[in-house]
Amino acid sequence: MYDFLDKVVLITGAARGIGFAIAESFAKAKATVLILDLNQEAIDTAVNRLIDLGGKAAGYMANVTNSKGIEELFARIIQEHGKIDALINNAGVTRDNLMLRMKEEEWDLVLNINLKGAFICSQKVFKHMMKARSGSIINIASVIGIMGNAGQANYAASKGGLIALTKSCAKEFASRNIRVNAVAPGFIETEMTATLSDEIRAEYAKVIPLNQMGSPLDVAKLCMFLASDESTYITGQTIAVDGGLTMH
């Protein structure tokens, strides 16, 4: 449906899970897909899978929290690929604990990767997108950033912060024709949730109006829309992909 021929899409944390599903969808739509992740072996496997599908892909080992490393990497990507049309800030982690037991290290790690990582990547890519006077930045937030969740104060704060970052960047970048939106997935079937029992899965489904968990592809489809010319009048929005779990 979408055609991203000659478009360069950079996705953080894309060696597996939702990020990889997003990478796969863009690769099938002819984009040049750049995977950024922590582990070289996992990156190579992911890139090879995309190439086997007939896609154009390259991988880069980097940590989104390393400001200098990201700045140098983005400059290298511009040299190698000429531009970055879309950045998808997807890298994210959880370190769940109840407030009383949460260690400061658990707070710092989650805030650093989920929120500061997106700040760093957005700031560094903005430099290049503003020269091109076009671009789309998509932040993968979470319904937890909207609703909160017991045992996830750090994660909820990071994703709520990411939604606020999205709105501020959208306002700052709009005059350069750069759009910034957030996607808030609900319960999505990934390696992480595959281990859940049928019972727990049924419990989750009960609170979801559409009565089922989502797939990484559901998230990928929205990312493609937000990166495409079909959404040129949409910026600063947070769109939930959650089967109706959150409505506002």
Ligand X SMILES: NC(=O)c1ccc[n+]([C@@H]2O[C@H](COP(=O)([O-])OP(=O)(O)OC[C@H]3O[C@@H](n4cnc5c(N)ncnc54)[C@H](O)[C@@H]3O)[C@@H](O)[C@H]2O)c1
| Cα-based torsion angle of the residue sequence 33, 37, 39, 44 in order, rounded to the nearest 10 degrees | 0
| Exposure string for 194-212, b = 16+ CB within 10 A, e = fewer | eeeeeeebeebeeebeeee
Least Cβ distance, residue 175 to ligand X (angstroms): 28
Told to check if 25 binds ligand X by CB under 6 A, we report no
Asked if 190 interacts with ligand X (CB under 6 A), we say yes
Does 192 bind ligand X (CB under 6 A)? Our answer is yes
Stretch that binds ligand X, among 11-19, 97-105, 200-208, 223-231 (CB under 6 A): 11-19
How far is Cα 71 from Cα 235, in angstroms, rounded to an integer? 25
Region near ligand X per CB under 6 A, out of 16-24, 48-56, 146-154, 228-236: 16-24
The residue count for the chain: 248
What are the beta bridge partners of residue 97?
A: 152
User: Smallest distance, Å, CB 3 to ligand X?
Assistant: 26
DSSP of 54-109: T-EEEEEE--TT-HHHHHHHHHHHHHHHS--SEEEE-------B-GGG--HHHHHH
Smallest distance from the beta carbon of 155 to ligand X, in angstroms?
A: 7
Binding of ligand X at residue 12 (CB under 6 A)?
yes
Q: Which 87-116 residues touch ligand X, going by CB under 6 A?
A: 90-93, 113
Beta bridge partners of 10: 34, 87
Check if 233 is active-site: no
The one among 30, 45, 56, 65 contacting ligand X by CB under 6 A: 65
Residue 146 in contact with ligand X, rule: CB under 6 A: no
Burial of 95 (0-12, 13-18, 19+ CB in 10 A): middle
Q: Is 64 an interacting residue with respect to ligand X (CB under 6 A)? A: yes
Is 179 a binder of ligand X (CB under 6 A)?
no
Instruction: Choose, by CB under 6 A, the member of 11, 15, 87, 180 that binds ligand X.
Output: 15
Catalytic residues: 155
